Chains A and B, each alone.
Chain A
Amino acid sequence: MLEVRDLSVSFGAVRALRGVSFTAEPGAVTAVLGANGAGKTTLLRTISGLVKPKDGAILFDGTELIGHSVEGVARMGVSHVPEGRGVIEELTVEENLRLATLWCLPRRQRAASIDQVLELFPRLQAFRHRQASMLSGGERQMLVLGRALVSRPRLLLLDEPSLGLAPLITAQLMGLLREQTEGTDMTVVLVEQNARSALSVSHHAVILNLGQVVVSDDAATVAADDALRHHYLGF
Protein backbone atom coordinates (compact mmCIF):
# COMPACT_ATOMS: atom_id res chain seq x y z
CA MET A 1 0.00 0.00 0.00
CA LEU A 2 1.17 3.51 -0.82
CA GLU A 3 0.62 6.21 1.79
CA VAL A 4 1.39 9.81 0.95
CA ARG A 5 1.27 12.05 4.01
CA ASP A 6 1.31 15.86 4.07
CA LEU A 7 3.59 16.01 1.03
CA SER A 8 4.78 19.48 0.06
CA VAL A 9 7.02 20.39 -2.88
CA SER A 10 8.28 23.81 -3.89
CA PHE A 11 10.17 25.05 -6.92
CA GLY A 12 11.59 28.32 -5.66
CA ALA A 13 8.62 30.48 -4.72
CA VAL A 14 6.16 28.20 -6.52
CA ARG A 15 4.44 25.67 -4.26
CA ALA A 16 3.69 22.73 -6.53
CA LEU A 17 2.23 20.42 -3.84
CA ARG A 18 0.70 21.57 -0.56
CA GLY A 19 0.12 19.00 2.13
CA VAL A 20 -0.99 16.24 -0.22
CA SER A 21 -2.24 13.09 1.55
CA PHE A 22 -3.88 9.99 0.12
CA THR A 23 -3.53 6.22 0.10
CA ALA A 24 -3.47 3.80 -2.82
CA GLU A 25 -4.42 0.18 -2.20
CA PRO A 26 -2.77 -2.89 -3.76
CA GLY A 27 -4.76 -4.64 -6.47
CA ALA A 28 -6.47 -1.37 -7.36
CA VAL A 29 -5.97 1.57 -9.72
CA THR A 30 -5.93 4.99 -8.07
CA ALA A 31 -6.50 7.83 -10.55
CA VAL A 32 -4.92 11.21 -9.84
CA LEU A 33 -6.85 13.81 -11.80
CA GLY A 34 -6.85 17.56 -12.18
CA ALA A 35 -6.23 20.44 -14.55
CA ASN A 36 -2.85 21.36 -16.04
CA GLY A 37 -0.53 22.63 -13.33
CA ALA A 38 -2.44 20.88 -10.53
CA GLY A 39 0.72 19.04 -9.49
CA LYS A 40 -0.04 15.54 -10.82
CA THR A 41 3.28 14.97 -12.58
CA THR A 42 5.20 16.51 -9.68
CA LEU A 43 3.47 14.08 -7.34
CA LEU A 44 4.63 11.05 -9.35
CA ARG A 45 8.15 12.46 -9.78
CA THR A 46 8.37 12.98 -6.04
CA ILE A 47 7.24 9.44 -5.27
CA SER A 48 9.90 8.01 -7.62
CA GLY A 49 12.62 10.25 -6.16
CA LEU A 50 13.15 12.54 -9.17
CA VAL A 51 11.95 15.54 -7.15
CA LYS A 52 12.97 16.18 -3.55
CA PRO A 53 10.03 17.21 -1.34
CA LYS A 54 10.11 20.03 1.13
CA ASP A 55 8.05 18.18 3.69
CA GLY A 56 5.93 15.09 4.26
CA ALA A 57 6.30 11.33 4.00
CA ILE A 58 5.85 8.68 1.29
CA LEU A 59 5.45 5.20 2.72
CA PHE A 60 5.30 2.16 0.51
CA ASP A 61 4.41 -1.02 2.41
CA GLY A 62 5.62 0.79 5.49
CA THR A 63 9.02 1.79 4.02
CA GLU A 64 9.86 5.48 3.65
CA LEU A 65 10.79 6.26 0.03
CA ILE A 66 12.01 9.80 0.62
CA GLY A 67 15.77 9.97 0.90
CA HIS A 68 16.42 7.05 -1.43
CA SER A 69 17.99 7.59 -4.86
CA VAL A 70 15.83 7.25 -7.98
CA GLU A 71 17.45 3.92 -8.83
CA GLY A 72 17.09 2.84 -5.20
CA VAL A 73 13.34 3.52 -5.30
CA ALA A 74 13.09 1.60 -8.60
CA ARG A 75 14.87 -1.36 -7.00
CA MET A 76 12.23 -1.38 -4.25
CA GLY A 77 9.73 -2.40 -6.92
CA VAL A 78 8.50 1.04 -7.98
CA SER A 79 8.08 1.45 -11.73
CA HIS A 80 7.51 4.99 -12.98
CA VAL A 81 6.40 5.49 -16.57
CA PRO A 82 7.00 9.19 -17.17
CA GLU A 83 4.99 11.52 -19.35
CA GLY A 84 5.90 11.56 -23.03
CA ARG A 85 6.37 7.87 -23.85
CA GLY A 86 9.77 7.42 -22.28
CA VAL A 87 11.19 4.77 -24.54
CA ILE A 88 14.92 4.74 -25.11
CA GLU A 89 14.82 5.37 -28.84
CA GLU A 90 18.31 4.12 -29.62
CA LEU A 91 17.58 0.67 -28.16
CA THR A 92 15.46 -2.00 -29.80
CA VAL A 93 12.06 -3.02 -28.44
CA GLU A 94 13.57 -6.12 -26.87
CA GLU A 95 16.49 -4.19 -25.37
CA ASN A 96 14.07 -1.70 -23.80
CA LEU A 97 12.23 -4.59 -22.20
CA ARG A 98 15.38 -6.48 -21.19
CA LEU A 99 16.79 -3.38 -19.49
CA ALA A 100 13.86 -3.37 -17.08
CA THR A 101 14.50 -7.00 -16.09
CA LEU A 102 18.22 -6.74 -15.33
CA TRP A 103 18.05 -5.80 -11.68
CA CYS A 104 14.93 -7.71 -10.69
CA LEU A 105 14.83 -11.05 -12.51
CA PRO A 106 17.31 -13.93 -12.55
CA ARG A 107 18.98 -14.34 -15.95
CA ARG A 108 17.05 -17.55 -16.80
CA GLN A 109 13.66 -15.90 -16.21
CA ARG A 110 14.24 -12.79 -18.30
CA ALA A 111 13.46 -14.20 -21.75
CA ALA A 112 10.24 -15.85 -20.55
CA SER A 113 9.12 -12.66 -18.86
CA ILE A 114 9.77 -10.64 -22.01
CA ASP A 115 7.83 -13.21 -24.07
CA GLN A 116 4.89 -12.94 -21.66
CA VAL A 117 4.77 -9.18 -22.06
CA LEU A 118 5.04 -9.42 -25.85
CA GLU A 119 2.04 -11.76 -25.79
CA LEU A 120 0.08 -8.92 -24.19
CA PHE A 121 1.13 -6.63 -27.03
CA PRO A 122 1.20 -8.70 -30.26
CA ARG A 123 2.03 -5.61 -32.33
CA LEU A 124 5.31 -5.26 -30.46
CA GLN A 125 6.16 -8.91 -31.08
CA ALA A 126 6.53 -8.17 -34.78
CA PHE A 127 8.84 -5.24 -34.04
CA ARG A 128 10.87 -7.04 -31.39
CA HIS A 129 14.23 -6.28 -33.01
CA ARG A 130 13.28 -2.88 -34.37
CA GLN A 131 14.73 0.31 -32.94
CA ALA A 132 12.20 2.00 -30.65
CA SER A 133 12.56 5.26 -32.59
CA MET A 134 10.74 3.56 -35.48
CA LEU A 135 7.58 2.90 -33.44
CA SER A 136 4.36 4.89 -33.67
CA GLY A 137 2.99 6.77 -30.67
CA GLY A 138 0.63 3.96 -29.71
CA GLU A 139 3.33 1.32 -30.08
CA ARG A 140 5.68 3.38 -27.92
CA GLN A 141 3.04 3.59 -25.23
CA MET A 142 2.57 -0.17 -25.40
CA LEU A 143 6.32 -0.56 -25.06
CA VAL A 144 6.61 1.65 -21.96
CA LEU A 145 3.65 -0.09 -20.34
CA GLY A 146 5.13 -3.46 -21.25
CA ARG A 147 8.51 -2.36 -19.92
CA ALA A 148 6.87 -1.37 -16.65
CA LEU A 149 5.04 -4.71 -16.37
CA VAL A 150 8.01 -6.89 -17.31
CA SER A 151 9.79 -5.94 -14.09
CA ARG A 152 6.73 -7.15 -12.13
CA PRO A 153 6.51 -3.97 -10.07
CA ARG A 154 4.78 -3.69 -6.72
CA LEU A 155 3.96 -0.03 -7.36
CA LEU A 156 3.27 1.26 -10.87
CA LEU A 157 3.19 5.01 -11.48
CA LEU A 158 1.74 5.98 -14.87
CA ASP A 159 1.89 9.55 -16.11
CA GLU A 160 -0.56 10.43 -18.89
CA PRO A 161 -0.44 7.11 -20.76
CA SER A 162 -3.23 8.20 -23.11
CA LEU A 163 -1.58 11.46 -24.18
CA GLY A 164 -1.89 11.84 -27.95
CA LEU A 165 -3.29 8.35 -28.50
CA ALA A 166 -6.33 7.37 -30.56
CA PRO A 167 -9.39 6.58 -28.38
CA LEU A 168 -9.37 2.93 -29.44
CA ILE A 169 -5.76 2.41 -28.34
CA THR A 170 -6.39 4.33 -25.12
CA ALA A 171 -9.34 2.04 -24.35
CA GLN A 172 -7.21 -1.03 -25.04
CA LEU A 173 -4.40 0.19 -22.79
CA MET A 174 -6.74 1.15 -19.97
CA GLY A 175 -8.56 -2.18 -20.16
CA LEU A 176 -5.26 -4.01 -20.06
CA LEU A 177 -4.14 -1.96 -17.09
CA ARG A 178 -7.19 -2.89 -15.05
CA GLU A 179 -6.86 -6.53 -16.09
CA GLN A 180 -3.21 -6.62 -15.01
CA THR A 181 -3.98 -4.99 -11.67
CA GLU A 182 -7.04 -6.76 -10.32
CA GLY A 183 -6.33 -9.85 -8.28
CA THR A 184 -2.64 -8.97 -7.90
CA ASP A 185 -0.71 -7.16 -5.17
CA MET A 186 0.33 -4.39 -7.56
CA THR A 187 -0.59 -0.85 -6.56
CA VAL A 188 -1.26 1.47 -9.52
CA VAL A 189 -1.31 5.27 -9.47
CA LEU A 190 -2.60 6.63 -12.76
CA VAL A 191 -2.19 10.32 -13.60
CA GLU A 192 -4.46 11.34 -16.45
CA GLN A 193 -5.80 14.40 -18.24
CA ASN A 194 -8.40 12.16 -19.83
CA ALA A 195 -10.50 11.94 -16.65
CA ARG A 196 -13.39 10.05 -18.24
CA SER A 197 -11.11 7.29 -19.44
CA ALA A 198 -9.17 7.15 -16.17
CA LEU A 199 -12.31 6.94 -14.03
CA SER A 200 -13.60 4.09 -16.16
CA VAL A 201 -10.73 1.82 -15.10
CA SER A 202 -9.95 3.17 -11.64
CA HIS A 203 -11.13 2.00 -8.26
CA HIS A 204 -10.26 5.18 -6.40
CA ALA A 205 -9.84 8.79 -7.51
CA VAL A 206 -7.89 11.72 -6.10
CA ILE A 207 -8.47 15.17 -7.55
CA LEU A 208 -5.73 17.76 -7.23
CA ASN A 209 -6.32 21.47 -7.61
CA LEU A 210 -3.45 23.97 -7.34
CA GLY A 211 -1.30 21.41 -5.52
CA GLN A 212 -3.91 20.37 -2.97
CA VAL A 213 -6.16 17.33 -2.67
CA VAL A 214 -9.74 18.52 -3.06
CA VAL A 215 -11.41 15.13 -3.48
CA SER A 216 -10.39 11.61 -2.52
CA ASP A 217 -13.15 9.05 -3.05
CA ASP A 218 -14.30 5.97 -4.95
CA ALA A 219 -13.87 6.42 -8.69
CA ALA A 220 -17.51 5.43 -9.25
CA THR A 221 -18.70 8.09 -6.76
CA VAL A 222 -16.61 10.78 -8.46
CA ALA A 223 -17.82 9.70 -11.90
CA ALA A 224 -21.43 9.92 -10.73
CA ASP A 225 -21.11 13.40 -9.20
CA ASP A 226 -22.02 15.79 -12.03
CA ALA A 227 -21.18 18.97 -10.12
CA LEU A 228 -17.79 17.67 -9.09
CA ARG A 229 -16.94 16.51 -12.59
CA HIS A 230 -18.02 19.82 -14.13
CA HIS A 231 -16.13 21.89 -11.58
CA TYR A 232 -12.79 20.07 -11.47
CA LEU A 233 -12.64 17.74 -14.46
CA GLY A 234 -14.44 19.72 -17.14
CA PHE A 235 -16.86 17.08 -18.42
Chain B
Amino acid sequence: MSLFWDYTLNGVASGMIYAALALALVLSYRATKIINFAQGAAGMLTTFIAFSLLTRGWSYWPAFVAVLLIGFAIGAATEFILIRPLQGKSELNPVIVTVGLLVVFEGLAGAIYGNASRGFPPAFSQSGLRFGNTTIDFSHFDLFILCAVLAMMLALLVLFRFTALGLRMRASAFSREIARLLGVRVGLLLTLGWGLAGIAGSLAGLLVAPTSAFGPYYMNLILVYGFTAAVIGGLESPVGALVGGLITGLCISYVGGYLGSGVEPAGALVLLIAALMVRPEGIFSRPPARRV
Protein backbone atom coordinates (compact mmCIF):
# COMPACT_ATOMS: atom_id res chain seq x y z
CA MET B 1 0.00 0.00 0.00
CA SER B 2 2.90 2.33 0.80
CA LEU B 3 4.25 1.73 -2.70
CA PHE B 4 0.91 2.80 -4.11
CA TRP B 5 1.11 6.12 -2.27
CA ASP B 6 4.71 6.59 -3.36
CA TYR B 7 3.70 6.03 -6.97
CA THR B 8 0.76 8.38 -6.52
CA LEU B 9 2.90 11.22 -5.14
CA ASN B 10 5.47 10.60 -7.83
CA GLY B 11 2.72 10.66 -10.44
CA VAL B 12 1.37 13.98 -9.14
CA ALA B 13 4.81 15.62 -9.34
CA SER B 14 5.62 14.33 -12.81
CA GLY B 15 2.01 14.94 -13.89
CA MET B 16 2.39 18.63 -13.09
CA ILE B 17 5.41 18.78 -15.41
CA TYR B 18 3.42 17.09 -18.18
CA ALA B 19 0.64 19.59 -17.44
CA ALA B 20 3.07 22.49 -17.94
CA LEU B 21 4.13 21.16 -21.33
CA ALA B 22 0.53 20.27 -22.21
CA LEU B 23 -0.41 23.84 -21.34
CA ALA B 24 2.27 25.11 -23.69
CA LEU B 25 0.86 22.93 -26.48
CA VAL B 26 -2.69 24.07 -25.68
CA LEU B 27 -1.79 27.78 -25.71
CA SER B 28 -0.18 27.62 -29.14
CA TYR B 29 -2.93 25.33 -30.46
CA ARG B 30 -5.69 27.63 -29.19
CA ALA B 31 -4.06 30.59 -30.88
CA THR B 32 -3.28 29.10 -34.28
CA LYS B 33 -4.66 25.52 -34.38
CA ILE B 34 -1.13 24.22 -34.79
CA ILE B 35 0.58 21.60 -32.63
CA ASN B 36 4.05 22.95 -31.92
CA PHE B 37 6.24 19.84 -32.00
CA ALA B 38 9.25 22.04 -31.21
CA GLN B 39 7.79 23.06 -27.85
CA GLY B 40 9.73 20.48 -25.85
CA ALA B 41 12.96 21.20 -27.73
CA ALA B 42 12.52 24.93 -27.14
CA GLY B 43 12.18 24.16 -23.41
CA MET B 44 15.35 22.08 -23.66
CA LEU B 45 17.21 24.94 -25.35
CA THR B 46 16.17 27.51 -22.77
CA THR B 47 17.14 25.11 -19.98
CA PHE B 48 20.60 24.87 -21.55
CA ILE B 49 20.68 28.67 -21.51
CA ALA B 50 19.85 28.50 -17.79
CA PHE B 51 22.67 25.97 -17.40
CA SER B 52 25.07 28.42 -19.08
CA LEU B 53 23.93 31.27 -16.84
CA LEU B 54 24.33 29.14 -13.70
CA THR B 55 27.82 28.02 -14.69
CA ARG B 56 28.70 31.70 -15.26
CA GLY B 57 27.85 32.44 -11.65
CA TRP B 58 24.21 33.55 -11.88
CA SER B 59 22.13 32.50 -8.93
CA TYR B 60 19.15 30.24 -9.58
CA TRP B 61 16.23 32.67 -9.42
CA PRO B 62 17.52 35.40 -11.75
CA ALA B 63 18.45 32.66 -14.21
CA PHE B 64 14.99 31.11 -13.76
CA VAL B 65 13.22 34.39 -14.58
CA ALA B 66 15.59 35.22 -17.46
CA VAL B 67 14.99 31.84 -19.05
CA LEU B 68 11.21 32.18 -18.84
CA LEU B 69 11.53 35.53 -20.63
CA ILE B 70 13.80 33.98 -23.25
CA GLY B 71 11.21 31.20 -23.65
CA PHE B 72 8.58 33.90 -24.27
CA ALA B 73 10.79 35.53 -26.90
CA ILE B 74 11.48 32.24 -28.68
CA GLY B 75 7.77 31.34 -28.73
CA ALA B 76 6.71 34.77 -29.97
CA ALA B 77 9.45 34.88 -32.60
CA THR B 78 8.52 31.40 -33.84
CA GLU B 79 4.94 32.50 -34.45
CA PHE B 80 5.85 35.84 -35.97
CA ILE B 81 8.70 34.73 -38.22
CA LEU B 82 7.88 31.13 -39.13
CA ILE B 83 4.20 30.41 -38.55
CA ARG B 84 2.44 33.60 -39.59
CA PRO B 85 3.74 33.65 -43.18
CA LEU B 86 2.27 30.15 -43.62
CA GLN B 87 -1.26 31.20 -42.65
CA GLY B 88 -3.92 30.38 -45.20
CA LYS B 89 -1.70 27.81 -46.93
CA SER B 90 -1.55 24.03 -46.46
CA GLU B 91 -2.21 22.93 -42.87
CA LEU B 92 0.72 20.56 -43.14
CA ASN B 93 3.31 23.31 -43.73
CA PRO B 94 3.43 24.73 -40.18
CA VAL B 95 3.53 21.20 -38.74
CA ILE B 96 6.57 20.44 -40.90
CA VAL B 97 8.13 23.73 -39.80
CA THR B 98 7.73 22.87 -36.10
CA VAL B 99 9.21 19.39 -36.64
CA GLY B 100 12.10 21.03 -38.50
CA LEU B 101 12.54 23.50 -35.66
CA LEU B 102 12.70 20.60 -33.18
CA VAL B 103 15.60 19.13 -35.16
CA VAL B 104 17.31 22.53 -35.40
CA PHE B 105 17.01 23.19 -31.63
CA GLU B 106 18.34 19.74 -30.74
CA GLY B 107 21.15 20.05 -33.28
CA LEU B 108 22.04 23.49 -31.96
CA ALA B 109 22.15 22.28 -28.35
CA GLY B 110 24.22 19.27 -29.37
CA ALA B 111 26.66 21.45 -31.32
CA ILE B 112 27.12 23.94 -28.48
CA TYR B 113 26.91 21.75 -25.39
CA GLY B 114 27.62 18.25 -26.73
CA ASN B 115 25.28 15.26 -26.73
CA ALA B 116 26.35 13.81 -23.36
CA SER B 117 23.87 13.88 -20.49
CA ARG B 118 24.72 15.92 -17.40
CA GLY B 119 23.19 17.01 -14.14
CA PHE B 120 21.09 20.13 -13.66
CA PRO B 121 20.81 21.68 -10.21
CA PRO B 122 17.34 21.61 -8.61
CA ALA B 123 15.89 24.71 -7.00
CA PHE B 124 15.22 22.81 -3.78
CA SER B 125 16.27 19.60 -2.08
CA GLN B 126 15.22 16.38 -3.78
CA SER B 127 15.17 14.33 -0.59
CA GLY B 128 11.74 13.26 0.62
CA LEU B 129 9.70 15.41 2.98
CA ARG B 130 9.66 14.22 6.59
CA PHE B 131 6.55 14.08 8.76
CA GLY B 132 7.71 13.05 12.23
CA ASN B 133 9.62 9.82 11.72
CA THR B 134 8.12 9.18 8.32
CA THR B 135 9.74 10.23 5.07
CA ILE B 136 7.47 10.35 2.04
CA ASP B 137 8.47 10.00 -1.59
CA PHE B 138 7.72 13.65 -2.29
CA SER B 139 10.52 16.17 -2.05
CA HIS B 140 10.76 19.92 -1.54
CA PHE B 141 11.52 20.10 -5.25
CA ASP B 142 8.35 18.13 -6.04
CA LEU B 143 6.44 20.64 -3.91
CA PHE B 144 8.06 23.43 -5.88
CA ILE B 145 6.97 21.75 -9.14
CA LEU B 146 3.41 21.56 -7.84
CA CYS B 147 3.36 25.19 -6.70
CA ALA B 148 5.11 26.56 -9.82
CA VAL B 149 2.70 24.88 -12.25
CA LEU B 150 -0.36 25.76 -10.17
CA ALA B 151 0.84 29.37 -9.92
CA MET B 152 1.23 29.53 -13.70
CA MET B 153 -2.23 28.03 -14.18
CA LEU B 154 -3.69 30.54 -11.75
CA ALA B 155 -1.94 33.45 -13.45
CA LEU B 156 -3.32 32.32 -16.82
CA LEU B 157 -6.78 31.87 -15.34
CA VAL B 158 -6.72 35.44 -14.03
CA LEU B 159 -5.37 36.71 -17.36
CA PHE B 160 -7.98 34.94 -19.48
CA ARG B 161 -11.02 35.38 -17.21
CA PHE B 162 -10.56 38.75 -15.59
CA THR B 163 -8.61 41.04 -17.92
CA ALA B 164 -9.42 42.84 -21.14
CA LEU B 165 -6.25 41.42 -22.69
CA GLY B 166 -7.38 37.90 -21.83
CA LEU B 167 -10.82 38.56 -23.33
CA ARG B 168 -9.17 39.74 -26.54
CA MET B 169 -6.92 36.66 -26.56
CA ARG B 170 -9.86 34.31 -26.10
CA ALA B 171 -11.86 36.06 -28.81
CA SER B 172 -8.88 35.87 -31.19
CA ALA B 173 -8.47 32.17 -30.48
CA PHE B 174 -12.15 31.28 -30.87
CA SER B 175 -13.15 33.45 -33.81
CA ARG B 176 -10.40 35.28 -35.59
CA GLU B 177 -12.56 37.06 -38.17
CA ILE B 178 -15.18 38.30 -35.71
CA ALA B 179 -12.46 39.49 -33.35
CA ARG B 180 -10.83 41.49 -36.15
CA LEU B 181 -14.20 43.01 -37.09
CA LEU B 182 -14.47 44.15 -33.46
CA GLY B 183 -11.17 46.01 -33.69
CA VAL B 184 -9.00 43.35 -32.00
CA ARG B 185 -5.42 43.25 -33.31
CA VAL B 186 -5.50 39.48 -33.68
CA GLY B 187 -1.99 39.00 -35.07
CA LEU B 188 -0.40 40.59 -32.03
CA LEU B 189 -2.44 38.42 -29.68
CA LEU B 190 -1.58 35.20 -31.51
CA THR B 191 2.09 36.09 -31.11
CA LEU B 192 1.44 36.74 -27.43
CA GLY B 193 -0.26 33.33 -27.14
CA TRP B 194 2.82 31.60 -28.57
CA GLY B 195 4.99 33.67 -26.23
CA LEU B 196 3.02 32.47 -23.21
CA ALA B 197 3.32 28.92 -24.55
CA GLY B 198 7.08 29.51 -24.68
CA ILE B 199 7.06 30.42 -20.97
CA ALA B 200 5.13 27.25 -20.09
CA GLY B 201 7.49 25.13 -22.21
CA SER B 202 10.55 26.69 -20.60
CA LEU B 203 9.09 26.11 -17.15
CA ALA B 204 8.54 22.44 -18.04
CA GLY B 205 12.14 22.18 -19.26
CA LEU B 206 13.50 23.69 -16.04
CA LEU B 207 11.36 21.40 -13.88
CA VAL B 208 12.23 18.19 -15.72
CA ALA B 209 15.98 18.78 -16.05
CA PRO B 210 17.00 17.99 -12.43
CA THR B 211 15.03 14.74 -12.47
CA SER B 212 16.29 13.34 -15.76
CA ALA B 213 19.40 12.79 -17.87
CA PHE B 214 19.73 16.42 -18.97
CA GLY B 215 20.91 16.54 -22.59
CA PRO B 216 19.71 17.69 -26.02
CA TYR B 217 17.05 14.95 -26.25
CA TYR B 218 15.72 14.80 -22.69
CA MET B 219 12.47 16.59 -23.58
CA ASN B 220 11.43 14.26 -26.43
CA LEU B 221 9.70 11.72 -24.22
CA ILE B 222 8.25 14.52 -22.09
CA LEU B 223 6.75 15.98 -25.28
CA VAL B 224 4.98 12.66 -25.92
CA TYR B 225 3.64 12.66 -22.35
CA GLY B 226 2.69 16.33 -22.57
CA PHE B 227 0.92 15.71 -25.89
CA THR B 228 -0.96 12.77 -24.33
CA ALA B 229 -1.99 15.04 -21.46
CA ALA B 230 -3.14 17.78 -23.84
CA VAL B 231 -5.23 15.31 -25.89
CA ILE B 232 -6.82 13.81 -22.76
CA GLY B 233 -7.75 17.25 -21.42
CA GLY B 234 -8.89 18.63 -24.77
CA LEU B 235 -6.44 20.48 -26.94
CA GLU B 236 -8.02 23.87 -26.32
CA SER B 237 -8.52 23.75 -22.56
CA PRO B 238 -5.88 25.01 -20.08
CA VAL B 239 -7.80 23.33 -17.24
CA GLY B 240 -7.87 20.19 -19.36
CA ALA B 241 -4.09 20.39 -19.65
CA LEU B 242 -3.81 20.33 -15.86
CA VAL B 243 -6.22 17.43 -15.44
CA GLY B 244 -4.76 15.57 -18.44
CA GLY B 245 -1.27 16.08 -17.01
CA LEU B 246 -2.28 14.61 -13.67
CA ILE B 247 -4.03 11.62 -15.30
CA THR B 248 -1.00 10.99 -17.53
CA GLY B 249 1.45 11.41 -14.66
CA LEU B 250 -0.44 9.02 -12.40
CA CYS B 251 -0.96 6.38 -15.09
CA ILE B 252 2.70 6.46 -16.15
CA SER B 253 3.83 6.35 -12.54
CA TYR B 254 1.67 3.29 -11.79
CA VAL B 255 2.75 1.57 -15.03
CA GLY B 256 6.41 2.33 -14.31
CA GLY B 257 6.10 1.31 -10.68
CA TYR B 258 4.23 -1.94 -11.11
CA LEU B 259 5.38 -3.06 -14.57
CA GLY B 260 8.84 -1.50 -14.85
CA SER B 261 10.08 1.85 -16.10
CA GLY B 262 10.80 0.43 -19.58
CA VAL B 263 7.06 0.04 -20.14
CA GLU B 264 6.28 3.71 -19.37
CA PRO B 265 6.37 5.02 -22.98
CA ALA B 266 4.15 2.13 -24.11
CA GLY B 267 1.80 2.95 -21.23
CA ALA B 268 1.56 6.53 -22.43
CA LEU B 269 0.84 5.34 -25.95
CA VAL B 270 -1.94 3.02 -24.75
CA LEU B 271 -3.37 5.91 -22.73
CA LEU B 272 -3.27 8.19 -25.77
CA ILE B 273 -5.00 5.63 -27.98
CA ALA B 274 -7.63 4.93 -25.31
CA ALA B 275 -8.29 8.67 -24.92
CA LEU B 276 -8.67 9.11 -28.68
CA MET B 277 -11.07 6.17 -28.89
CA VAL B 278 -13.22 7.04 -25.88
CA ARG B 279 -13.36 10.84 -26.08
CA PRO B 280 -11.37 12.18 -29.03
CA GLU B 281 -12.29 15.80 -28.27
CA GLY B 282 -10.88 15.47 -24.73
CA ILE B 283 -12.46 15.81 -21.33
CA PHE B 284 -12.81 19.58 -21.29
CA SER B 285 -13.61 20.34 -24.92
CA ARG B 286 -17.11 20.39 -26.23
CA PRO B 287 -17.86 17.95 -29.04
CA PRO B 288 -18.44 19.77 -32.35
CA ALA B 289 -22.00 21.09 -32.58
CA ARG B 290 -24.30 19.30 -35.00
CA ARG B 291 -26.97 21.34 -36.70
CA VAL B 292 -30.32 19.59 -36.85
- Chain A nearest Cβ from B116, distance in angstroms: 47
The complex places the Cα of A48 from the Cα of B170 at a distance, in Å, of 22
CB of B185 closer than 8 Å to a CB of A? yes
Contact with A along B169-192 (1 / 0, CB 8 A): 011001101111111111000000
Residues of A within 8 A of B175 (CB): 86, 88-89
Knowing A88-B171, A90-B170, the reply to whether A82 touches B183 (Cβ < 8 A) is no
- Chain B nearest Cβ from A204, distance in angstroms: 24
B168, B184, B186, B286: most-surrounded residue (chain A CB, <10 A): B184
Contact with A along B145-187 (1 / 0, CB 8 A): 0000000000000000000100110110011011111111110
The complex places the Cα of A151 from the Cα of B182 at a distance, in Å, of 9
> Smallest CB-CB separation from A70: which chain B residue?
B180
Select which of A86, A89, A90, A133 is within 8 A of B181 by beta carbon. A86
A181-222 at interface with B (beta carbon < 8 Å)? none
Verify A71–B184 contact, CB threshold 8 A.
Answer: yes
Verify B167–A102 contact, CB threshold 8 A.
Answer: yes
Verify B168–A74 contact, CB threshold 8 A.
Answer: no
> Smallest CB-CB separation from A110: which chain B residue?
B164
CB of B81 closer than 8 Å to a CB of A? no
The complex places the Cα of A82 from the Cα of B181 at a distance, in Å, of 9
How many B residues touch the partner, as a band? Answer: 10 to 19
Verify A91–B183 contact, CB threshold 8 A.
Answer: no
Contact with B along A65-105 (1 / 0, CB 8 A): 00001110011000110100011111100010011101110
Contact with B along A146-161 (1 / 0, CB 8 A): 0100010000000000
Residues of B within 8 A of A151 (CB): 182-183
Verify B171–A99 contact, CB threshold 8 A.
Answer: yes
Residues of A within 8 A of B164 (CB): 98, 102
CB of B111 closer than 8 Å to a CB of A? no
Knowing A91-B170, A91-B171, A133-B289, the reply to whether A102 touches B183 (Cβ < 8 A) is yes
Verify A74–B174 contact, CB threshold 8 A.
Answer: no
Verify A74–B180 contact, CB threshold 8 A.
Answer: yes
Verify A75–B178 contact, CB threshold 8 A.
Answer: no
Verify B174–A99 contact, CB threshold 8 A.
Answer: no
> Smallest CB-CB separation from B184: which chain A residue?
A71
Verify A90–B174 contact, CB threshold 8 A.
Answer: yes
Residues of B within 8 A of A71 (CB): 180, 183-186
Select which of A90, A99, A133 is within 8 A of B182 by beta carbon. A99
The complex places the Cα of A102 from the Cα of B169 at a distance, in Å, of 12
The complex places the Cα of A103 from the Cα of B181 at a distance, in Å, of 12
- Chain A nearest Cβ from B45, distance in angstroms: 33
Residues of B within 8 A of A111 (CB): none
Verify A48–B181 contact, CB threshold 8 A.
Answer: yes
Residues of B within 8 A of A88 (CB): 171, 174-175, 178-179
The complex places the Cα of A75 from the Cα of B286 at a distance, in Å, of 33
- Chain A nearest Cβ from B176, distance in angstroms: 10
- Chain A nearest Cβ from B177, distance in angstroms: 7
> Smallest CB-CB separation from A107: which chain B residue?
B164
CB of A169 closer than 8 Å to a CB of B? no
CB of A227 closer than 8 Å to a CB of B? no
Residues of A within 8 A of B289 (CB): 133
Verify A74–B181 contact, CB threshold 8 A.
Answer: yes
Residues of B within 8 A of A87 (CB): 178
The complex places the Cα of A50 from the Cα of B164 at a distance, in Å, of 24
Knowing A86-B175, A88-B175, the reply to whether A99 touches B184 (Cβ < 8 A) is yes
Contact with B along A134-169 (1 / 0, CB 8 A): 000000000000010001000000000000000000
B174, B181, B289: most-surrounded residue (chain A CB, <10 A): B181
The complex places the Cα of A91 from the Cα of B182 at a distance, in Å, of 14
> Smallest CB-CB separation from A131: which chain B residue?
B286
Residues of A within 8 A of B286 (CB): 133
Q: A88-B171, A91-B171 are in contact. List 5 more A-B contacts (CB 8 A).
A: A75-B183, A80-B181, A89-B175, A103-B183, A151-B183
Instruction: Please give me the 4 A-B residue pairs with the lowest Cβ-Cβ distance, nearest first.
Output: A74-B183, A103-B183, A70-B180, A90-B174
Query: Could you list 16 A-B pairs, sorted by A, with CB under 8 Å?
Result: A50-B177, A74-B180, A75-B183, A86-B178, A91-B170, A98-B164, A98-B167, A99-B179, A99-B182, A100-B183, A102-B164, A102-B168, A103-B182, A103-B184, A133-B289, A151-B182
